[in-house]
Amino acid sequence: MLRGLNHITIAVSDLDRSLRFYTDILGMQGHVRWERGAYLSLGDVWFCLSVDKAAPAQDYSHIAFDIDESDFLPFADKLRTAGVMEWKQNTSEGQSIYFLDPDGHRFEAHSGSLQTRLNSLAQAPYSGLVWL
């Protein structure tokens, strides 16, 4: 049986640039690096940067990071000060900032949880929403 996420691997075109972004801007913990990759972590999530041809999704696919509401505005300001590109404006419950990494991979920092999202859907359901 699946138990949860094991790790996330992102293809990057420039390992040094990506390491700076993920550690200095996003605050991930670096563990090891080698010629074509690096292992980082964020909380309990193992994150791998792998040098390859980066081909980020052009659809809504993205990875959302959890952030405390009290940390949201300073984090958003840090991204904006660093010139990190935003790819979408938030229209859902909770605070979110949608941003791109140096290769254009799509990410979100979100201050809500599944429960806060479900609570908001009880008040304003999506079109065609069915509770499972």
Q: Which residues are catalytic?
A: 108
N- to C-terminal Cα distance for the chain?
Answer: 21
Residue the block writes with tokens 């996330």: 8
Residue type, 63: I
Distance between CA atoms of residues 60 and 56, nearest Å: 11
